[in-house]
Chain A
Amino acid sequence: DGGITQSPKYLFRKEGQNVTLSCEQNLNHDAMYWYRQDPGQGLRLIYYSQIVNDFQKGDIAEGYSVSREKKESFPLTVTSAQKNPTAFYLCASSIPALNYNEQFFGPGTRLTVL
């Protein structure tokens, strides 16, 4: 089955530790995205990548880093510089087209920093 996988579903880390969230897709999509969602809020864009080896900051990139070495993978590292990292993290992918951009989302990773 084609789709986006995020692992793990729940993640716990101690304050001050970096943590990397996995996102893999087998949809052959060029573009991938990372969003953060806090309780009762909408999604906010952290980083996005439209092609391998290239990525751009979203609205809340501070304290996060990404890499895009392979088309299928777009890992997100939450660094110790992120002041409030506890949140629900969602990865998405899409085929950037001229008029149409349907984003497909993974199931999300809920990160809790203790």
Chain B
Amino acid sequence: DAKTTQPTSMDCAEGRAANLPCNHSTISGNEYVYWYRQIHSQGPQYIIHGLKNNETNEMASLIITEDRKSSTLILPHATLRDTAVYYCIVRETSGSRLTFGEGTQLTVNP
């Protein structure tokens, strides 16, 4: 699976959009981009995934660049409860394993 690079930490003001970047320059054509988040001392929670097109669900939006070498997770109106570690993962369509890096610690400030 391709390696991902994320900033170690980010801050965001409550009510503003949080934009979390992820670089995956070695991604191959059959690899999806997944985002999970982990609130302190809890199990990770799936947020969203995508292959080529931008995706949106009730939690977030995923913007993938045309060359697929990077992506951005957008939380449109961040709340204090969005404070968590966010993991960007790329994975083959046929594989079942997820490889978690160290993620980005997002802190939403009042």
Interaction A to B: yes
A-B contact count (CB 8 A): 57
CB <8 Å contact, A48 and B96: yes
Within the complex, the shortest CB–CB distance from B37 to chain A, in Å, comes to: 11
A43 touches B45 (CB 8 A): no
The stretch that binds A, out of B17-25, B59-67, B70-78, B98-106, is B98-106
B44 and A101 contact, CB distance less than 8 A: no
Report whether over half of chain B's contact residues are helix, strand or loop; otherwise say mixed. Answer: loop
Cα of A2 to Cα of B100 in the assembled complex, Å? 25
Query: Do A43 and B44 touch (CB < 8 A)?
Result: yes
A99 adjacent to chain B (CB < 8 Å) = yes
The number of chain B residues touching the other chain, given as a range, is 20 to 34
Q: Which of A94, A100, A106 contacts B43 (CB 8 A)?
A: A106
A55 to B48, CA, bound (A): 27
> Chain B contacts of A43 at CB under 8 A?
44, 98, 100
For residue B101, which residues in chain A have a CB less than 8 angstroms away from its CB?
42
Measured CA separation A107–B99 after assembly (Å): 19
> In residues 34-93 of chain A, which contact B (Cβ within 8 Å)?
35, 40-45, 48, 50, 58, 88, 90, 92
**Complex interface: chain B residues within 8 A of A105 (CB):** 43-45
Which residues of chain A are within 8 angstroms of B100 by Cβ–Cβ distance? Answer: 35, 42-44
User: Contacts A42-B100, A50-B96, A101-B91 given: A90-B49 contact, CB under 8 Å?
Assistant: no
State in angstroms the CA–CA spacing of A86 and B95 once bound together.
29
- B48 CB to nearest chain A CB (Å): 10
Over the window 33-50 of chain B, the binary record of Cβ atoms lying under 8 Å from chain A Cβ atoms (1 yes, 0 no) is 000100001111110010
3 A-B pairs with the lowest CB-CB distances in the bound complex, closest first: A105-B43, A42-B100, A43-B100
What are 24 residue pairs bridging A and B, where the CB atoms are less than 8 Å apart in the complex? A41-B102, A42-B102, A43-B100, A44-B100, A48-B96, A50-B96, A96-B96, A98-B93, A99-B32, A99-B93, A101-B91, A101-B95, A101-B98, A102-B46, A103-B44, A103-B46, A103-B98, A104-B46, A105-B43, A105-B44, A105-B45, A108-B41, A108-B42, A108-B43
